[in-house]
Structure formats: structure tokens, C-alpha cells
């Protein structure tokens, strides 16, 4: 039985990974979160990898609070960059393959065309900078790695859809940004892609988001419509959002990733975001 260490197992993607491998007798997941493994400590990582002798490591751990990353810079670098480095070192030491998850925030969001793996990163926030540093460490220290950049992720846990549903219980009108574009991506869809790639030798950098694109305001409208809520969504600009919440970090205005490497090297395709959100909302609403 092949052992897979999963970091960040209690997050949205970690839970989706567990759902994907549930009942599979070929693999044994060794689940870790911050309580079981401090990925910022290379000795702790090596101790675990030498004990477990994993076939693979799936790194779902990250400091994803974009606004807090602007304040907790050291911690963001420790988790998103040093943590990724340590896991790459541990994977190489164990002869294991590493699946590392990154983000659309490595791009500035200023180029109005779908971004491929061949476009140059230039992050504008500390979250993006620390995640990009993590990517570079993985490329430097991992012998066998897959790196998937995803965006606008939602799943079992705290996410945009649940935030909108919570606000809809309290407010008749919700202001939501309408000038940031991206592809809402189901954690389950991302977990499926990870499971597809992991046994292959098709190593390298991939983009992994649901097909199609939208803006936050339209995504919010879709979520509330599927939940049967009549709360009104007020589309607002990013500038207006910054006026209302001045501490917020800069977000990429254009975050549409094209899954170009998947299309060039495989026949694997993500579901369309509108189909994926319907599946998620039905499960969330208990239908």
C-alpha cells in the first residue's frame, strides 16, 4: 500500500483529497495539520518522512489569509515558502513525489488574457510573493514534483459561497466586487485532478481551475440563486471595496488561468464552474 502524507488535511482541499481517496485500498493517507506537523521546521518534516517513507506528499497547507499576509509577513514566508521548501527536501530525501498547490496570486492580474504556465509571475501582494517563493523552492529542492496553481477555491470549510450565504441571513443588500475576473474552482474538482496526475510521470507546473470565468458579483448571484435566496447583490468596484475595507490587500483584477499544460499533455479536463457550483450547492443544501 502506497503511503501519502497530506499536509493541511483539515482545510478545504485536504478534506476533498480525503474524500477522493476514501475506500481506496491502494493508498494510505497519513493526514497531518498544524497540530501533527510543523512544516516550517525541516527537522520535523524529515523526521516524519523518514518514519512514514511516503510514496508521495500532497501539500495542501498554506497561510491563505491574504490580508493578514500583509501584516504577518514573516509567518507567511515561513508557511508558504519555507514550509514548501522543507516538504520538497523531505520528499527528495524519501524518494517521494511532491504535489504542491499554488495560486493565481503569483500573477499581477493586469494582463487581460487567460494566463498559462508560460506567462511570467509578478505578484503584487505578500500572499502572492510568499507563494511564488514557495514555487521556486519546490523547483529547486524537489526531484519529482507536480505544482498546481488554482484560484477562487471553495469546498468544505470557510469560503466565499458560505460567506455570501451568511451575509444573506443578515443583510438585504450585499456589495460584491464586479471588476475582478476569475474561475471559481471546486476543491473536489481540484482533488480529482491531483489524483489523476499523482501516479503519472507527467511532472512539472500546471494550472488547475474549473473551466469558464466570471466575476465575484455574478458568482455571488449564482450562489444565492441556487440557495433560493432573494438577497440583492450590489456590484461594486475594487476601489469602492478598498474604501469600505481600507486594510485589504491588493487583489489581481484578472485572474483567469488557462489549464494549458493539462491540455497539451493530457486529455484531462476540469468541469465548468457553473456545473461544479451546482454540485457543491446541492450537497451544501442537503438536496
For residue range 123-171, what is the model confidence (pLDDT) as tens digits?
Answer: 999 999 999 999 999 999 999 999 999 999 999 999 999 999 999 999 9
Q: Would you say residue 121 lies in a domain?
A: yes
In a domain, 249, yes or no: no
Has residue 69 been placed in a domain? yes
pTM as predicted: 0.96
Write the pLDDT tens digit of every residue in 235-272.
Answer: 999 888 888 877 678 888 999 999 999 999 999 999 99
The DSSP bridge partners found for residue 88 are none
Q: What is the largest CA-CA distance in the chain?
A: 55
Give the mean pLDDT of 222-231.
96
Residue 92 in domain: yes
What CATH code is carried by the domain that includes residue 44?
3.40.50.720
Q: Which domain holds residue 55?
A: 2-159+184-213+255-284
CA-angle at 43, arms to 41 and 48, nearest 5°: 100
For residue 136, is it within any domain?
yes
Give the chain as a DSSP string.
-EEEEEESTTSHHHHHHHHHHTT-TTEEEEE--TTT--TT-HHHHHHHHHHH--SEEEE------HHHHTT-HHHHHIIIIIHHHHHHHHHHHHT-EEEEEEEGGGS-S-S-S-B-TTSPP---SHHHHHHHHHHHHHHHH-SSEEEEEE-SEESSSS-HHHHHHHHHTT-SEEEEE-S-EE--EEHHHHHHHHHHHTTSS--EEEE---BS-EEHHHHHHHHHHHTT--PEEEEE-HHHHHHHSTTPPP--SB--B--HHHHHH----PPBHHHHHHHHHHHHTT-
Give the three cell numbers for residue 256. 483567469
Residue 189 lies in a domain: yes
pLDDT at 249: 82
Residue 169 domain-assigned (yes or no):
no
Determine whether 127 is an active site residue: yes
Number of structural domains, the chain?
A: 1
**228, part of any domain:** no
d(C-alpha 224, C-alpha 101), whole Å: 29
Q: Which of 63, 105, 127, 145 is catalytic?
A: 127
Amino acid at each position: 500500500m502506497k503511503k501519502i502524507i497530506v499536509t493541511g488535511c483539515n482545510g478545504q482541499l485536504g478534506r476533498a483529497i480525503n474524500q477522493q481517496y476514501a475506500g481506496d485500498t491502494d493508498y494510505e493517507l497519513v493526514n497531518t495539520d498544524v497540530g501533527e506537523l510543523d512544516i516550517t521546521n525541516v527537522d520535523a518534516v524529515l523526521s516524519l518522512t523518514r518514519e512514514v517513507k511516503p510514496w508521495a506528499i500532497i501539500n495542501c497547507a498554506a497561510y491563505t489569509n491574504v490580508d493578514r499576509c500583509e501584516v504577518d509577513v514573516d509567518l507567511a514566508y515561513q508557511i508558504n515558502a519555507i514550509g514548501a521548501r522543507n516538504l520538497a527536501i523531505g520528499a527528495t530525501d524519501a524518494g517521494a513525489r511532491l504535489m504542491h498547490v499554488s495560486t493565481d496570486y503569483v500573477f499581477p492580474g493586469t494582463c487581460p488574457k487567460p494566463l498559462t504556465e508560460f506567462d511570467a509571475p509578478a505578484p503584487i501582494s505578500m500572499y502572492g510573493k510568499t507563494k511564488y517563493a514557495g514555487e521556486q523552492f519546490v523547483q529547486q529542492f524537489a526531484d519529482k514534483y507536480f505544482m498546481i496553481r488554482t484560484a477562487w477555491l471553495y469546498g468544505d470549510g470557510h469560503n466565499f459561497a458560505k460567506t455570501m450565504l451568511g451575509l444573506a441571513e443578515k443583510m438585504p443588500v450585499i456589495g460584491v466586487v464586479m471588476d475582478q475576473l476569475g474561475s471559481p474552482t471546486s476543491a473536489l474538482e481540484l482533488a480529482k485532478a491531483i489524483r489523476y496526475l499523482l501516479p503519472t510521470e507527467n511532472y512539472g507546473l500546471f494550472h488547475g481551475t474549473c473551466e469558464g470565468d466570471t466575476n465575484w458579483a455574478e458568482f455571488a448571484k449564482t450562489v444565492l440563486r441556487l440557495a433560493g435566496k432573494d438577497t440583492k447583490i450590489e456590484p461594486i468596484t475594487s476601489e469602492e471595496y478598498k474604501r469600505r475595507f481600507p486594510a485589504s490587500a491588493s487583489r489581481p483584477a484578472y485572474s483567469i488561468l488557462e489549464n494549458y499544460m493539462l491540455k497539451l499533455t493530457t486529455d484531462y479536463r476540469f468541469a465548468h464552474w457553473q456545473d461544479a457550483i451546482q454540485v457543491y450547492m446541492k450537497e451544501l443544501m442537503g438536496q
